[in-house]
Structure 1
Amino acid sequence: MRRVVGVAALLLLAGCSTGDSPGGSAPPTDPPKGIQVEVVADGLTHPWEVGFLPDGRMLVTERPGRLTLVDKGRKTQVEADFGDVVARGEGGLMGLLVHPDFASTKRFTTCFNTANDIRLVTWELDGTEARRVKDPLRAGFPANPSGRHSGCRLSLGPDGSLLVGTGDTARASIPQDLNSFGGKVLKLDLATGEGGVLTYGHRNVQGVAVRKDGLIMSAEHGPDVDDEVNVIKPGGNYGWDPSKGGTEGGYDEDVPMTDLERFPDAVPAVWSSGRPTEAICDAVFLDGAEWGDLDGALAVTALKGAKVLFFTVTAEGGVHSVSVPPELDGTHGRLRGAALGPDKALYVTTSNGTDDKVLRVTRG
């Protein structure tokens, strides 16, 4: 593993206070009206990420190690060599990012577990076949043999960089170890894979969302308390340390998600679930007049909670309120992926293990 670069120069920390309430640390509001949900693809297995091609077709990663092309509801399995993908527990074929210059390059990047690590690979799509062109783009991310806390959500940064949210692989020392890429948000060059740690001290980052003004927010799993939504601040320590400063040999999950006693300068969450956790997952900002008063809201899926939460976010990144539409509250099982389509609709994937679906969510 090459050493992480540039962390000392990134220590610009800030935070917001949190509290506990039935809506987590922000007040719940009335459910939004007019939410409509339709199934656009089914028969999938743990679809992890949706990426849109310029012509509106979707690429969907499936955790067992399959890539599916969806065109107006018709599914075609992409022929690609995923022979080194190891799907075990929470790990397998996970994040996907369609490159912004896909129209000319036909390139996209995936993240997956192998027998030895978690890695990024860049592909080129030719019809319904994909070949590796950067293998790997970056390798050596830590992995747990069980697949636990694999993380690996990919997003395009406001400057065109590749943002990667990773998990700590349930190893106590990794979140605070700046020489490890586990329990971090990474900022890498999309073409070369060069780069390093943007933020650290995370448990298991499941969503990284970028607002059109450049604000970056993440969604993160807590243990049995305190899922978190965070504003990503370069160089920030987010305070997860199950090693207790290296004094604990095991993985002590009784420590706070953001340990402000051990790390007084840690970045507090802008929203915390309190108890119980929702197992929040992917996150994306809604954008478009079609959404009415939800225009600009942060949509976050939940696995255990089996819902979508809409967060009203201030200009600075504070969470003002939370709402949950009944149409997406326990109606489709576990919800994982979230992406905004070129039609401004929200696309959500289920993660139940059998006959999983891609849902199209609009507001009438």
Structure 2
Amino acid sequence: MRRIVGFAAVLLLAGCSNAPAGGSAPAGEAPKEIKVDVVATGFTHPWELGFLPDGRVLVTERPGRLALVEQGRRTEVKADLGDVVARGEGGLMGLVVHPDFATTKRFTTCFNTSSDIRLVTWELDGAEAKRVKDPLKAGLPTNPSGRHSGCRLTLDKDGKLLVGTGDTARASFSQDPANLGGKVLRLDLATGEGGVHTYGHRNVQGIAVRQDGLVLAAEHGPDVDDEVNVLKAGANYGWDPSQGGTVDRYDEDVPMTDLERFPDAVPAVWSSGSPTEAICDAVFLAGEQWGDMTGVLAVTALKGSKVLLFTVTAEGGVHSVSIPEQLDGAYGRLRGAELGPDGALYVTTSNGSDDKILRVTRG
């Protein structure tokens, strides 16, 4: 389960500033006391982590595998994943462990099939998983190439399932209220009932929920303008590569948030400008070990091969951004981010060969 954490509007500890140039927020001071340990190896594109009550970690791997990690050892989970289509950006991706896992043993995954992207709920018995709700939700669009598959899962403060979806590189999908691509969905975790929460997205790759209910999403831009957005129910985030339905091609020269075409669209609270970082998963830091870094938003980056730390105001604005040098290019592409029960930040690499789970603490 993605932990929902408390908030403090803080500045990072003094250190050497190395925040990216060109972003829409000032450079912050990067903390020096960050420690990174490799806790498990031998994965292939580990996409999402879920911590179980007994201390084990459940991991989705994009090629279509589930694994359990216990004391640094990876064990493959026996599961029927034969309908997973792993191609390009698609495959077995999002994961959320149910809050009542201790009694139900249930978790939900998100993956591409040959016909759609779907959510399936599973029950774990030892090192074997069986489908118990198949599907929980089906009919999310997919691209045969796997492009822009979205698939990030988390729970909001009310226990509803938030699902970030991609536009699958189809021009009209993001602004089409009848299409589930380019959206954030809000669903009942038990039944899959619910629908579109926000729309006008390109490819949502991270969703983080603060204790007060604020939800921030990390989203891929084209060749400019990765975005961090505050999600507001019913809001439009302004991506429209169809130019209002006037072009048939997927026109990526349009703005990520087109305020001329959609004056009521919600502007991003942070934009990368150029170059993009390919920002990915997002989680708020919390717990005694983080001290005055509690409430900082940690966001992984694929192309940028780093973790970005955002100081966030009470209203959800971004005060400043910094990058700890220990997580700047040292481990390659970084994808998953999750707080563990020990309060540490766990991050996955996504290089495709002997990928790792990293444990990040404040030394």
- Do these two structures clear the TM 0.5 threshold for a shared fold by scoring above it? yes
Contact 1:23-1:322 within 8 A present in 2 as well: no
> Which residue in the other structure is 2:12 paired with?
none
Deviation (angstroms), 1:329: 0.2
Deviation (angstroms), 1:23: 5.3
Deviation (angstroms), 1:95: 0.1
The CA deviation string for residues 139-161 of structure 1, in whole angstroms up to 9 with x for no partner, is 01000000000011000111000
Deviation (angstroms), 1:30: 1.9
The CA deviation string for residues 237-281 of structure 1, in whole angstroms up to 9 with x for no partner, is 000000000001000000000000000000000000000000000
> Which residue in the other structure is 2:14 paired with?
none
Where does structure 1 lack aligned partners over 5 or more consecutive residues?
Answer: 1-20
- Paired with 2:288 and 2:246, the residues of 1 have a C-alpha distance of 52
SS in 2 for 1:124: strand
Structure 1 segments of 4 or more deviating over 3 A?
Answer: none
Alignment RMSD (CA, Å): 0.7
The amino acid that maps onto 1:131 is K
Residues 105/279 of structure 1: CA separation in 2 closer, same or farther (3 Å cut): same
- Paired with 2:273 and 2:22, the residues of 1 have a C-alpha distance of 9
Map 1:202-351 onto structure 2 (within 5 A): 202-351=201-350
Map 1:39-118 onto structure 2 (within 5 A): 39-118=38-117
How many residue pairs match? The answer is 344
- Paired with 2:156 and 2:177, the residues of 1 have a C-alpha distance of 21
> Which residue in the other structure is 1:183 paired with?
182
- Paired with 1:156 and 1:23, the residues of 2 have a C-alpha distance of 32
Contact 2:164-2:205 within 8 A present in 1 as well: yes
Deviation (angstroms), 1:29: 1.4
The amino acid that maps onto 1:191 is A
SS in 1 for 2:151: strand
> Which residue in the other structure is 2:148 paired with?
149
The CA deviation string for residues 164-186 of structure 1, in whole angstroms up to 9 with x for no partner, is 00000000000000111100000
> Which residue in the other structure is 2:8 paired with?
none
SS in 2 for 1:327: helix
- Paired with 2:179 and 2:347, the residues of 1 have a C-alpha distance of 31
- Paired with 2:291 and 2:304, the residues of 1 have a C-alpha distance of 25
Q: Does 1:35 align with 2:22?
A: no
Contact 2:42-2:74 within 8 A present in 1 as well: no
Deviation (angstroms), 1:292: 2.4
- Paired with 2:288 and 2:210, the residues of 1 have a C-alpha distance of 15
Where does structure 2 lack aligned partners over 5 or more consecutive residues?
Answer: 1-19
Deviation (angstroms), 1:115: 0.4
Map 1:120-131 onto structure 2 (within 5 A): 120-131=119-130
Deviation (angstroms), 1:295: 0.9
The amino acid that maps onto 2:29 is D
- Paired with 1:306 and 1:313, the residues of 2 have a C-alpha distance of 22
Contact 2:198-2:236 within 8 A present in 1 as well: yes
SS in 2 for 1:155: strand
Deviation (angstroms), 1:289: 2.4
> Which residue in the other structure is 1:119 paired with?
118
- Paired with 1:215 and 1:241, the residues of 2 have a C-alpha distance of 25
- Paired with 1:55 and 1:96, the residues of 2 have a C-alpha distance of 18
Percentage of pairs with the same residue: 79
| TM-score under structure 2 length normalisation | 0.94
- Paired with 2:348 and 2:362, the residues of 1 have a C-alpha distance of 18
Deviation (angstroms), 1:46: 0.2
The CA deviation string for residues 174-224 of structure 1, in whole angstroms up to 9 with x for no partner, is 000011110000000000000000000000000010011111000000000
Contact 1:307-1:334 within 8 A present in 2 as well: yes
Contact 2:22-2:274 within 8 A present in 1 as well: no
> Which residue in the other structure is 2:25 paired with?
26
